[in-house]
Chains A and B, each alone.
Chain A
Amino acid sequence: MYVGCDIGTGYTKGVLIDQDGKILSSCIIPTNADPRTASKTIIEELLKNSNISQDQIKGWGSTGWGRTYLPVEHEELSLINCIAKGINFLSPSCRTVIDVGAQHSMVILLDEKGQVLEFRQNDRCAAGSGRFIEVISEALRVPLEKVSSLVLNAKEKVNVTSQCAVFAESEVIAHVNDGKPVDAILAGIIDSLARSLAAIAKRLSVIDEVFASGGMAKNSALVKEISRYLGKELHTAQPDPQLVGAIGAALFVKEKS
């Protein structure tokens, strides 16, 4: 059995797989800027949920921002490679991945064997990342998990011009003071994020089929908007888009052993 961990800036994800790549157990918890504690908890949870002991694990793969913190002997892997590996295993027809995490967004092109052909990423600025929505939903006092359904039911869209998350926050507060409805403001925010993500993707030649991964792929309003800007169907990685990197990490160590 093998464990893959993806220790991100937002969430820490872990999967336990068997020799055939079947997922025996998975776990997602907030990192809370504390990758040591989060990765320790993830290991405990994975083992507890599947009723196995630590010595039964043949290999540990770690990826993401906090990958060095995994408190067992592990293989450190690049997130881009792990996402490519994971998506190719889950959906072999995938040739383009759009991955949006808390503090990064990336677009990866794959060949038919799942090898990385090319990629673009933004990890410098919150404008194209999940934090952008987090900052705005906090300012609007809307729980993050409610954003998608509010946007999907919104009747109008308020144009948000600031790219910077900090300035967009002020802009959004000004819109609230002007009496603009919260769902319309959120629709504008999702639109702005989708547009910048689609712009990154369009700098590469997007190949079908296109899949969304990362925590933000759970926001179906965002996936729908990106799809509209791309003019292509955007599938959400299954069974859980947030686990793709962790699955890839586990598959790498399985192959190595």
Chain B
Amino acid sequence: MIFAGCDVGSLTAKALLMDEKENIIAYEIMNVLPNPVKSAEEIMSRTLKKAELRLEDIDYCISTGYGREKIPFANNNISEISCHGRGAHWVNPAIRTIIDIGGQDLKAIRVDSKGELVDFVMNDKCAAGTGRFLEGIAKTLNVSLSELGPLALKGKNPISIISTCTIFTQFDVMHLIVEGADKADIAAGVAKAMAQRMHKLVRKVGIKKEVAITGGVAKNQGVVKYLQEIIKSEIYQFKDIDPQIMGALGAALFAKEEYMRKR
């Protein structure tokens, strides 16, 4: 049997396929297309191709993410908060707190020993601290998003970033560059500011070990480093699986569960 999870976010679309024994068959991540339905269809077709399967082979599919209600091939949809919690907990059952940083939102999620949602907080009104924030800074520093993390790790003296607003921080960074500040120190300062913002959010749900970080920004090692320093605890990092896929993974797990229950 084949179960699918499809997560269409604001910046990237993700899909994952698994069998009835919860073995992951394939997953894919891509940048979104202007239309969420097209994004869902494209990412699912890429994932199916990788697994050498067809859409008809899927027994049950659950969609999640901000475009989740519009996905035509999904049997049902579940909020990305539940899906992220479920996915992360499945990978490591010791996880209780999940910090998820998406393209346009920031979430702190608490789950219980079964991986079920206990509490969450979310900011989706302001780009500060989201993937869009880092994207803007990378652009201003004239580096790619994937270079920003390694650059931040090189910075020995993180420059304090005063503005919260993404647009204003981009201006501050431009000014720092003009003043001759080291790009690595700027990147480190930005990573630190981002970690401080995440800490403020995660405090509201309570920091219970293990703490994991998911979403695209989890790939920025600079942010992870400063967050570990601030919360004074190791952060569980996903090694064999992409941290961006947790939502789609959780959705696939829910798909299996719902299918078994309905049968």
Residues of chain A having any CB pair with chain B under 8 Å: 9, 32-36, 103, 124-126, 131-132, 135, 163-167, 170, 173-174, 177
CB neighbours of A165 from chain B (8 A): 127, 165-167
A243–B165 Cα distance when bound, in Å, is 26
The residue on B at minimum CB distance from A31 is B175
CB neighbours of B63 from chain A (8 A): none
CB neighbours of A174 from chain B (8 A): 34
0/1 per residue, B121-146, Cβ < 8 Å to A? 00001110000110010000000000
CB neighbours of B168 from chain A (8 A): 103, 124-126, 131
A-B contact count (CB 8 A): 57
A145–B54 Cα distance when bound, in Å, is 53
By CB atoms of chain A within 10 A, which of B34, B167, B178 has the most? B167
Residues of chain B having any CB pair with chain A under 8 Å: 10, 34-35, 104, 125-127, 132-133, 136, 163-168, 171, 174-175, 177-178
**What 4 A-B pairs come out closest when comparing CB atoms?**
A166-B127, A33-B174, A126-B167, A33-B175
A32–B177 Cα distance when bound, in Å, is 11
Among B136, B165, B174, point to the contact of A125 (Cβ < 8 A): B165
The residue on B at minimum CB distance from A163 is B125
A229–B115 Cα distance when bound, in Å, is 49
Task: Give chain A nearest CB distance to B129 CB in angstroms.
Answer: 11
Q: A124-B164, A166-B166, A177-B34 are in contact. Are A33 and B126 (CB under 8 A)?
A: no
CB neighbours of A9 from chain B (8 A): 171
Task: Give chain B nearest CB distance to A163 CB in angstroms.
Answer: 7
Q: In the complex, are the beta carbons of B178 and A34 less than 8 A apart?
A: yes
9 A-B pairs with C-beta separation under 8 A:
A33-B175, A35-B175, A125-B164, A125-B165, A126-B165, A131-B168, A165-B167, A166-B127, A170-B104
CB neighbours of B136 from chain A (8 A): 166
Supplied contacts A103-B168, A126-B165, A163-B125, 4 more A-B pairs, CB within 8 Å: A33-B171, A33-B178, A125-B168, A135-B167
Task: Give chain B nearest CB distance to A123 CB in angstroms.
Answer: 8
Q: In the complex, are the beta carbons of A125 and B178 less than 8 A apart?
A: no
CB neighbours of A34 from chain B (8 A): 175, 178
A166–B136 Cα distance when bound, in Å, is 9
CB neighbours of B175 from chain A (8 A): 33-35
Q: A126-B168, A177-B34 are in contact. Are A167 and B127 (CB under 8 A)?
A: yes
A238–B132 Cα distance when bound, in Å, is 39
